[in-house]
Structure 1
Protein backbone atom coordinates (compact mmCIF):
# COMPACT_ATOMS: atom_id res chain seq x y z
CA UNK A 1 0.00 0.00 0.00
CA UNK A 2 1.35 3.39 -0.95
CA UNK A 3 -0.11 4.89 2.23
CA UNK A 4 1.95 2.81 4.61
CA UNK A 5 4.97 4.64 5.97
CA UNK A 6 8.35 3.12 5.15
CA UNK A 7 10.79 2.14 7.86
CA UNK A 8 13.79 4.41 8.23
CA UNK A 9 15.52 2.34 10.90
CA UNK A 10 15.30 -1.17 12.21
CA UNK A 11 17.28 -2.02 15.32
CA UNK A 12 17.47 -5.34 17.13
CA UNK A 13 18.01 -5.00 20.88
CA UNK A 14 19.14 -8.39 22.16
CA UNK A 15 19.24 -7.35 25.81
CA UNK A 16 15.67 -6.11 25.97
CA UNK A 17 14.50 -8.62 23.33
CA UNK A 18 12.86 -5.98 21.20
CA UNK A 19 12.85 -4.86 17.59
CA UNK A 20 12.86 -1.09 17.40
CA UNK A 21 11.37 0.18 14.17
CA UNK A 22 11.12 3.81 13.07
CA UNK A 23 8.92 4.90 10.18
CA UNK A 24 9.21 7.95 7.94
CA UNK A 25 5.91 9.16 9.39
CA UNK A 26 7.84 9.92 12.56
CA UNK A 27 6.26 7.01 14.40
CA UNK A 28 8.39 4.53 16.26
CA UNK A 29 7.41 1.15 17.64
CA UNK A 30 9.24 -1.14 20.00
CA UNK A 31 8.06 -4.68 19.29
CA UNK A 32 9.06 -7.49 21.67
CA UNK A 33 10.46 -10.61 19.99
CA UNK A 34 7.78 -12.66 21.76
CA UNK A 35 5.05 -10.48 20.26
CA UNK A 36 6.57 -10.70 16.78
CA UNK A 37 6.89 -14.47 17.07
CA UNK A 38 3.35 -14.97 18.35
CA UNK A 39 1.98 -12.85 15.52
CA UNK A 40 4.15 -14.35 12.80
CA UNK A 41 2.41 -13.94 9.44
CA UNK A 42 3.45 -17.47 8.44
CA UNK A 43 0.88 -20.07 7.48
CA UNK A 44 1.92 -22.37 10.30
CA UNK A 45 0.89 -19.72 12.83
CA UNK A 46 -2.00 -18.09 11.04
CA UNK A 47 -3.53 -21.25 9.64
CA UNK A 48 -5.32 -21.02 6.34
CA UNK A 49 -8.28 -18.90 7.27
CA UNK A 50 -10.01 -17.16 10.13
CA UNK A 51 -10.29 -19.28 13.23
CA UNK A 52 -7.47 -21.57 12.10
CA UNK A 53 -4.74 -19.70 13.92
CA UNK A 54 -2.41 -21.93 15.84
CA UNK A 55 -1.96 -20.62 19.37
CA UNK A 56 1.74 -20.10 20.06
CA UNK A 57 2.82 -20.82 23.61
CA UNK A 58 6.06 -20.69 25.55
CA UNK A 59 7.55 -17.86 23.52
CA UNK A 60 8.51 -15.57 26.38
CA UNK A 61 12.20 -16.44 26.03
CA UNK A 62 12.33 -16.53 22.24
CA UNK A 63 15.12 -14.58 20.58
CA UNK A 64 15.32 -12.98 17.18
CA UNK A 65 18.42 -14.46 15.58
CA UNK A 66 18.32 -13.01 12.05
CA UNK A 67 16.63 -10.27 10.05
CA UNK A 68 16.88 -10.70 6.29
CA UNK A 69 15.53 -8.11 3.85
CA UNK A 70 12.96 -9.38 1.34
CA UNK A 71 12.92 -7.03 -1.63
CA UNK A 72 12.08 -3.49 -0.59
CA UNK A 73 8.89 -4.36 1.16
CA UNK A 74 9.53 -6.84 3.96
CA UNK A 75 11.92 -8.65 6.26
CA UNK A 76 12.16 -12.33 7.03
CA UNK A 77 12.69 -12.93 10.73
CA UNK A 78 14.40 -16.02 12.11
CA UNK A 79 13.75 -16.92 15.74
CA UNK A 80 15.74 -19.01 18.18
CA UNK A 81 13.13 -21.78 18.11
CA UNK A 82 13.93 -22.28 14.42
CA UNK A 83 10.82 -20.54 13.13
CA UNK A 84 11.67 -18.57 10.02
CA UNK A 85 8.75 -18.84 7.63
CA UNK A 86 7.21 -15.49 8.49
CA UNK A 87 7.67 -12.69 5.97
CA UNK A 88 6.90 -9.43 7.75
CA UNK A 89 5.92 -6.72 5.29
CA UNK A 90 6.32 -3.07 6.27
CA UNK A 91 2.50 -2.88 6.21
CA UNK A 92 2.28 -5.77 8.62
CA UNK A 93 4.96 -4.47 10.99
CA UNK A 94 3.30 -1.07 10.96
CA UNK A 95 -0.08 -2.57 11.83
CA UNK A 96 1.51 -4.67 14.61
CA UNK A 97 2.99 -1.49 16.04
CA UNK A 98 -0.26 0.43 15.72
CA UNK A 99 -2.39 -2.29 17.32
CA UNK A 100 0.20 -3.70 19.70
CA UNK A 101 -1.79 -3.21 22.90
CA UNK A 102 -5.00 -4.63 21.49
CA UNK A 103 -3.22 -7.57 19.84
CA UNK A 104 -1.26 -8.43 22.97
CA UNK A 105 -4.41 -8.32 25.12
CA UNK A 106 -6.07 -10.56 22.55
CA UNK A 107 -3.18 -13.03 22.71
CA UNK A 108 -3.31 -13.19 26.52
CA UNK A 109 -7.04 -13.75 26.33
CA UNK A 110 -6.56 -16.61 23.87
CA UNK A 111 -4.00 -18.22 26.18
CA UNK A 112 -6.55 -18.11 28.97
CA UNK A 113 -9.27 -19.56 26.76
CA UNK A 114 -6.89 -22.41 25.96
CA UNK A 115 -6.65 -23.19 29.67
CA UNK A 116 -3.41 -21.43 30.53
CA UNK A 117 -3.04 -18.36 32.63
CA UNK A 118 -1.57 -15.47 30.71
CA UNK A 119 1.75 -16.14 32.43
CA UNK A 120 1.98 -19.94 32.24
CA UNK A 121 1.00 -19.85 28.59
CA UNK A 122 3.94 -17.61 27.87
CA UNK A 123 6.25 -20.20 29.41
CA UNK A 124 4.35 -23.38 28.51
CA UNK A 125 6.81 -25.72 26.76
CA UNK A 126 9.70 -24.84 29.05
CA UNK A 127 9.52 -27.66 31.56
CA UNK A 128 12.63 -27.38 33.70
CA UNK A 129 13.34 -23.98 35.19
CA UNK A 130 17.06 -24.59 34.85
CA UNK A 131 16.98 -24.98 31.09
CA UNK A 132 17.58 -21.29 30.52
CA UNK A 133 21.13 -21.59 31.92
CA UNK A 134 24.24 -21.15 29.85
CA UNK A 135 22.68 -19.03 27.11
CA UNK A 136 24.43 -15.80 27.92
CA UNK A 137 25.82 -14.10 24.84
Structure 2
Protein backbone atom coordinates (compact mmCIF):
# COMPACT_ATOMS: atom_id res chain seq x y z
CA UNK A 1 0.00 0.00 0.00
CA UNK A 2 1.29 3.49 -0.82
CA UNK A 3 2.80 5.24 2.15
CA UNK A 4 3.94 2.09 3.85
CA UNK A 5 7.34 1.55 2.25
CA UNK A 6 9.45 0.56 5.26
CA UNK A 7 12.38 2.63 3.93
CA UNK A 8 10.44 5.89 3.72
CA UNK A 9 10.91 8.29 6.62
CA UNK A 10 7.68 9.26 8.36
CA UNK A 11 6.82 12.90 9.07
CA UNK A 12 6.95 13.69 12.77
CA UNK A 13 5.75 17.25 12.33
CA UNK A 14 3.70 19.06 9.70
CA UNK A 15 3.24 22.81 10.15
CA UNK A 16 1.17 25.14 8.02
CA UNK A 17 2.47 28.69 7.64
CA UNK A 18 -0.59 30.42 6.18
CA UNK A 19 0.96 33.86 5.72
CA UNK A 20 3.86 32.54 3.60
CA UNK A 21 1.79 29.62 2.22
CA UNK A 22 4.43 27.08 3.16
CA UNK A 23 4.12 23.61 4.65
CA UNK A 24 7.07 22.74 6.86
CA UNK A 25 7.76 19.02 7.19
CA UNK A 26 10.09 17.36 9.68
CA UNK A 27 10.83 13.67 9.17
CA UNK A 28 11.96 11.05 11.67
CA UNK A 29 15.41 10.97 10.04
CA UNK A 30 15.91 14.63 11.11
CA UNK A 31 15.44 15.95 7.55
CA UNK A 32 13.36 19.12 7.23
CA UNK A 33 11.71 20.48 4.11
CA UNK A 34 9.46 23.33 3.04
CA UNK A 35 6.91 22.98 0.27
CA UNK A 36 4.70 25.80 -0.96
CA UNK A 37 0.96 25.34 -1.01
CA UNK A 38 1.11 25.90 -4.77
CA UNK A 39 3.69 23.12 -5.17
CA UNK A 40 1.53 20.66 -3.25
CA UNK A 41 -1.55 21.64 -5.26
CA UNK A 42 0.28 21.37 -8.59
CA UNK A 43 1.65 17.94 -7.69
CA UNK A 44 -1.57 16.52 -6.29
CA UNK A 45 -1.56 12.75 -6.59
CA UNK A 46 -5.29 12.68 -7.36
CA UNK A 47 -6.53 10.79 -10.41
CA UNK A 48 -8.40 13.95 -11.38
CA UNK A 49 -5.03 15.61 -12.14
CA UNK A 50 -2.76 12.61 -12.79
CA UNK A 51 -5.19 10.54 -14.80
CA UNK A 52 -5.10 6.76 -14.75
CA UNK A 53 -2.00 6.28 -16.85
CA UNK A 54 0.85 7.94 -18.70
CA UNK A 55 -0.22 10.80 -20.91
CA UNK A 56 -3.50 11.41 -19.08
CA UNK A 57 -2.15 14.15 -16.80
CA UNK A 58 -3.87 17.52 -16.65
CA UNK A 59 -1.50 20.48 -16.34
CA UNK A 60 -2.41 22.41 -13.20
CA UNK A 61 -2.55 26.15 -13.94
CA UNK A 62 -3.44 29.32 -12.05
CA UNK A 63 -2.51 27.92 -8.65
CA UNK A 64 -0.08 30.63 -7.44
CA UNK A 65 -2.50 31.99 -4.80
CA UNK A 66 -4.05 28.71 -3.64
CA UNK A 67 -4.30 28.17 0.08
CA UNK A 68 -4.63 25.10 2.24
CA UNK A 69 -7.83 25.38 4.25
CA UNK A 70 -7.13 22.32 6.38
CA UNK A 71 -5.16 19.08 6.40
CA UNK A 72 -6.90 15.90 7.42
CA UNK A 73 -5.00 12.79 8.57
CA UNK A 74 -5.69 9.58 6.67
CA UNK A 75 -4.94 6.63 8.92
CA UNK A 76 -1.28 6.39 9.84
CA UNK A 77 0.01 6.68 6.29
CA UNK A 78 -1.16 9.91 4.59
CA UNK A 79 -2.65 13.37 4.74
CA UNK A 80 -5.45 14.94 2.70
CA UNK A 81 -5.12 18.69 2.22
CA UNK A 82 -8.23 20.67 1.41
CA UNK A 83 -7.33 23.55 -0.92
CA UNK A 84 -9.07 26.90 -1.30
CA UNK A 85 -9.91 26.12 -4.95
CA UNK A 86 -12.11 23.25 -3.78
CA UNK A 87 -9.64 20.46 -4.56
CA UNK A 88 -9.64 17.82 -1.84
CA UNK A 89 -9.20 14.45 -3.51
CA UNK A 90 -5.40 14.11 -3.30
CA UNK A 91 -4.07 11.68 -0.71
CA UNK A 92 -0.41 12.39 0.02
CA UNK A 93 1.07 9.22 1.47
CA UNK A 94 4.34 9.45 3.40
CA UNK A 95 6.05 7.95 0.32
CA UNK A 96 4.61 10.63 -1.96
CA UNK A 97 5.38 13.47 0.47
CA UNK A 98 8.97 12.38 0.96
CA UNK A 99 9.48 11.95 -2.79
CA UNK A 100 8.07 15.43 -3.41
CA UNK A 101 10.37 16.86 -0.76
CA UNK A 102 13.50 15.07 -1.94
CA UNK A 103 12.88 16.04 -5.59
CA UNK A 104 11.28 19.46 -5.07
CA UNK A 105 13.66 21.57 -7.15
CA UNK A 106 13.79 19.26 -10.19
CA UNK A 107 10.02 18.71 -10.13
CA UNK A 108 9.34 22.44 -9.89
CA UNK A 109 11.67 23.26 -12.79
CA UNK A 110 10.07 20.57 -14.95
CA UNK A 111 6.64 22.00 -14.11
CA UNK A 112 7.72 25.55 -15.01
CA UNK A 113 9.18 24.30 -18.29
CA UNK A 114 5.97 22.46 -19.18
CA UNK A 115 3.83 25.43 -18.18
CA UNK A 116 5.86 27.68 -20.46
CA UNK A 117 5.78 25.20 -23.34
CA UNK A 118 1.99 24.91 -23.13
CA UNK A 119 1.35 28.64 -22.69
CA UNK A 120 -0.07 28.20 -19.21
CA UNK A 121 0.25 30.53 -16.26
CA UNK A 122 0.70 30.23 -12.51
CA UNK A 123 -1.31 33.44 -12.13
CA UNK A 124 -5.01 32.79 -11.51
CA UNK A 125 -6.00 36.15 -13.02
CA UNK A 126 -4.69 34.99 -16.40
CA UNK A 127 -6.89 31.90 -16.20
CA UNK A 128 -10.21 33.60 -15.55
CA UNK A 129 -12.87 33.87 -18.25
CA UNK A 130 -12.76 37.67 -18.09
CA UNK A 131 -9.04 37.70 -19.03
CA UNK A 132 -8.56 39.28 -22.44
CA UNK A 133 -6.86 36.31 -24.06
CA UNK A 134 -6.41 33.43 -21.64
CA UNK A 135 -3.53 31.10 -22.41
CA UNK A 136 -4.70 27.91 -24.19
CA UNK A 137 -4.19 25.61 -21.22
CA UNK A 138 -6.03 27.76 -18.68
CA UNK A 139 -9.19 25.75 -19.19
CA UNK A 140 -7.53 22.70 -17.64
CA UNK A 141 -6.73 21.96 -14.03
CA UNK A 142 -9.23 24.36 -12.51
CA UNK A 143 -10.04 22.07 -9.59
Q: TM tier, shorter chain?
A: 0.7 to 0.9
Runs of 4+ in 1 over 4 A off after TM superposition: none
Query: How far apart are residue 48 of structure 1 and its match?
Result: 1.1
Could you say which residue in structure 2 is the equivalent of 1:60? Answer: 64
2:78 pairs with 1:79: no
Could you say which residue in structure 2 is the equivalent of 1:122? Answer: 122
Q: Once the two structures are superposed, what CA deviation does each residue of 1:23-63 show, in whole Å capped at 9, x if it has no partner?
A: 01111110000000000000011011112110010000000
Query: How far apart are residue 96 of structure 1 and its match?
Result: 0.3
2:46 pairs with 1:47: no
Which residue of 9, 12, 35 corresponds with 1:8?
Answer: 12
Q: What's the C-alpha RMSD, in Å, of the aligned pairs?
A: 1.1
Distance 1:28 1:108 in 2: 24
Give 5+ residue unaligned stretches, structure 1: 129-137
Which residue of 65, 89, 103 corresponds with 1:99?
Answer: 103
Distance 2:119 2:72 in 1: 35
TM-score by length of 2: 0.84
